[in-house]
Amino acid sequence: MAVIKTIDLVGVSTESWRDAANKALDEATKTLRGVEGFDVLETSAMVTDDSITEYRTHIRIRFRIER
């Protein structure tokens, strides 16, 4: 029987929400094996002088527990 575990991460980018999600996934795959996918839980942005300066994407990554 498979067991799936989840972790939440927030990626940050100056380019886009997609890039922020990719950065979070890239960091996760440095230490996790068996990543099966992720859900985007929330997106947000920081604004300075009426312009977006930072994109943030909160993701929940699913990965299989190996036994």
In total, how many domains does the chain have? Answer: 1
d(CA 62, CA 35): 6
**What radius of gyration do the chain's Cα atoms show?**
14
Structural domain harbouring 54:
4-64
pLDDT digits (tens, 9 = 90+) for 32-47: 999 999 999 999 999 9
**Looking at the chain, how many residues does it have?**
67
For residues 25 and 61, the answer to whether their CB atoms sit within 8 Å is yes
Residue 67 — pLDDT band, cuts 50, 70, 90? confident
Indicate whether 1 pLDDT > 80: no
Output the pLDDT for position 66: 81
What is the domain-level CATH number for residue 47? Answer: 3.30.1660.10
Taking residues 42-67, what's their average pLDDT?
96
Q: How far lies 40's CA from each of 1, 15, 20, 49, 61, in Å?
A: 26, 17, 11, 27, 9
